[in-house]
Structure 1
């Protein structure tokens, strides 16, 4: 029986691709580079902002990463200003969250986005009271970012939930690896930033076309009428 759903943020709960692209474009423009394409943005995200900046620089004119350290500072400044640009919940997500609440299943967030920006996104789109726990990247607290299992394990320990009682949802290979590394059941969501082919090789418990597919899956596992 699932007692907790753990959500990735970008590409899973919210469509933030325009904010991410805008932030990368602003960073690259500082060095006379870019802009990045929307498709490359979708491919480069998922492993934290440092990897995002690294991939963008390498692909758009700085293969030796001469500007990398400065670019990280520029990105953080730009991202702070536009991290909510055109950010919105995916269709069906509010209904899925309502279903989980109605059935007393904990709703949590585990993202590789900087923690402050993660909180900001959640509060802006959903309000402060929808999720039971919200965590972004916490490497400064000694918790490695995804796909390390440490974030999942720390959150489950905090909630007193076993691995068997957790369902993890995400849209990238990083999320699928996180689920496998954490030994929790994983849902690959197909409304996000990556393809079915990328996700299915990890053999998740479910590939979901729509958020309410997750609700139907949970009904079967938890024997909900």
Structure 2
């Protein structure tokens, strides 16, 4: 494999606590029913533009209210991220080794690109990636293939040499829709059984195992 396309939250970095706290605080601020940990964790793989409406299905948002809710979430997220977002075990040496082997690395995330770039900088891993794609840079969100296809088209990549790596079923579905190989990782949001049902090409339990595919 030559090209490795990573999800961010739950794959490269453990940011679940940050996203959960920010979601619950934002919903509380807007007097919405507060989703529990399990619900927020499940929807971490898709953008808040989609997940927030799924977590408040009985509420009818007008455009301004929904924008204000998302802005509120982002404010809470930024307050918590430095203290709570960390790299998963083995990620840094794995990225270093892949780079030494002249592999091409990218990130496709459901997170807004501003926050995504800030997180990558804070974790000191941005330098390992040729490019990153956030939710604001695609027309259709995960599990649509837009993010992966934009990278393939921009850099003229061979899809047979590309693999999408993620912790959520949405990542695997995106990869399959884009026609690339897929790899589920078990240290993030979704359990192994859920990932296996998507029939990924690989299912890994340690970051270092990425060096064997």
> What TM-score, normalized to structure 1?
0.86
Distance 2:147 2:209 in 1: 26
Q: Structure 1 residue 69: deviation in Å? A: 5.0
Contact 1:17 1:38 in 2 (8 A): no
Distance 1:71 1:25 in 2: 15
Matches within 5 A, 1:102-141: 102-139=100-137
SS in structure 1 at match of 2:194: helix
Distance 1:27 1:68 in 2: 16
1:208 equivalenced with 2:208 (yes/no) = no
What do the CA deviations read for 1:144-172 (whole angstroms, capped 9, x no partner)?
A: 22222222111012222110111110111
| Equivalenced residues, count | 210
Match of 1:99 in 2: 97
SS in structure 1 at match of 2:56: helix
List runs of 5+ in structure 2 lacking aligned partners. none
Q: Structure 1 residue 56: deviation in Å? A: 2.5
- Computed over aligned residues only, the root mean square deviation of the Cα atoms, in angstroms, reads 1.9
1:76 equivalenced with 2:71 (yes/no) = yes
What do the CA deviations read for 1:48-78 (whole angstroms, capped 9, x no partner)?
A: 11222112223xxxx1335785144233233
Match of 1:221 in 2: none
Matches within 5 A, 1:1-225: 2-58=1-57, 63-66=58-61, 70-83=65-78, 84=81, 85-139=83-137, 143-216=139-212, 218=213
Q: Structure 1 residue 44: deviation in Å? A: 2.2
Distance 2:75 2:30 in 1: 19
Q: Structure 1 residue 37: deviation in Å? A: 2.5
What do the CA deviations read for 1:70-108 (whole angstroms, capped 9, x no partner)?
A: 144233233234242501111111121012111100111
SS in structure 2 at match of 1:107: strand
From the superposition, tell whether residues 52 and 32 of structure 1 become closer, same or farther in structure 2 (CA, over 3 Å).
same
Distance 1:153 1:40 in 2: 29
Contact 2:92 2:125 in 1 (8 A): no
List runs of 5+ in structure 1 lacking aligned partners. 219-225
Higher-helix-fraction structure: 2
Q: Which moved more, 1:130-139 or 1:167-176?
A: 130-139
